[in-house]
Structure 1
Amino acid sequence: MLDTFTLSSFGAFHTLLALIAVVAGLLGLVRHGEIGTGTRAGLTYVVFTVLTSVTGLFIFRHGSFGPPHVLAIATLVVLAIAYAAEKRGNPHGFARYVAVLGYSLTLFFHLIPGLTETGTRLPLGDPAFTGPEDPTLKALVGAGFLVYLVGAAVQVLRIRRWRRLVPST
């Protein structure tokens, strides 16, 4: 029973990186309405999300390469696209949407393993979820995605308002 909750030192390190990333991402959203590397919270989020994704590629709790590894790779790809859009794209154009929505999408990605790993381990002796296919877990991830979509819509409207106020170059 207790063995189910035991994390390796590397797993605990990986979890700590993820927690720092999520807190920084949420701070960025609350303080600035978006995540971006131009703020301390946003830069912390991006760096720690990269570290979380990379360390996640070396965890094989279920024995082999699987969906968590695919999610880690997808996270790295979305971060790279968002970062490129933020740094190289026109801040008054489509690139701004790609950057803001991409970074926010990766915050949603954190939710999936966070709920899965926590819910299949806790409470001790009677975990909340039977596994990654548990219907309740899937419903919670679906609800999280709806929250992302609402947040994305708010961010799009915010960018549109900002674009009307700031003349493009």
Structure 2
Amino acid sequence: MAALTTLGIIHTAISLVAVGSGIVSLARTGNITWKNGVGKTYIVTTILTCLTGFGIYQHGGFGKPHILGIITLVVIAIAYAGDRQNLGRASKYVAAIGYSMTFFFHFIPAVTETTTRLPVSAPLAAGPDDPLVQKLVGICFLLFLIGTTLQVIKLRSKSGAGGGVAA
């Protein structure tokens, strides 16, 4: 097992803040949004996680982690446009689903790195293609689908009742 570099430690710390603030935001309001402090913390630290990640993914050049980082940044930009109501009637849905998708994206490397590094003496998984990693990421994806479905239902019920978009 390779030890974490200084950048790797910083990256991990930032990502833990992102995941923690994402959990708090989802628990408090049922969504992540730029419209409150905890949501802003999530979005900024997720961006920083992506940017610091580009410097630590050194497994033979450009690869899947880089692609995930780029996709995450693109999805954040689209979700932010939705958060700013720049996408018409779909804005609130684009924001909710987009930010939730980036939250799910955090768990792909988290599951992979954790299971392939811990316990130190005998990691749970041999690599990212290990069946255990694939199953755990699949469970995270299922939770993402359930969560976003609940968010869409909540948004639709608020819109149908004339309540507008929840911040």
Same fold, judged at TM 0.5 (above): yes
Between the aligned residues of both structures, percent identity stands at 45
Aligned counterparts of 2:99 and 2:42: Cα–Cα separation in 1: 9
Once the two structures are superposed, the pairs formed by residues 142-161 of structure 1 within 5 Å of their partners are: 142-161=138-157
Partner amino acid for 1:103? Y
The gaps in structure 2 that reach 5 residues or longer are none
Q: Which residue of 2 aligns with 1:67?
A: 64
Deviations 1:8-43 (A, max 9, x none): 111000000100000001100000000001111110
Pair 1:77-2:79 in alignment: no
Q: Is the 8 A contact 2:7 2:55 kept in 1?
A: no
Scaled by the length of structure 2, the TM-score of the pair is: 0.94
Q: May I ask how many residue pairs the two structures share in their alignment?
A: 164
Aligned counterparts of 1:6 and 1:56: Cα–Cα separation in 2: 15
Partner amino acid for 2:3? T
Which ranges of 4 or more aligned residues in structure 1 deviate by more than 2 Å?
A: 88-91, 165-168
1:167 CA displacement: 5.5
Aligned counterparts of 2:154 and 2:163: Cα–Cα separation in 1: 15
Q: Which residue of 2 aligns with 1:33?
A: 30
Question: Which of 129, 149, 166 does residue 162 from structure 2 map onto?
Answer: 166
Scaled by the length of structure 1, the TM-score of the pair is: 0.93
Aligned counterparts of 1:166 and 1:8: Cα–Cα separation in 2: 52
Q: Which residue of 2 aligns with 1:48?
A: 45
Aligned-CA RMSD value: 1.4
Partner amino acid for 1:9? T
Pair 1:10-2:7 in alignment: yes
Pair 1:119-2:115 in alignment: yes
Partner amino acid for 2:24? L
The gaps in structure 1 that reach 5 residues or longer are none
Q: Which residue of 1 aligns with 2:130?
A: 134
Pair 1:89-2:106 in alignment: no
Distance 1:56 1:30, change over 3 A: same
Aligned counterparts of 1:161 and 1:90: Cα–Cα separation in 2: 20
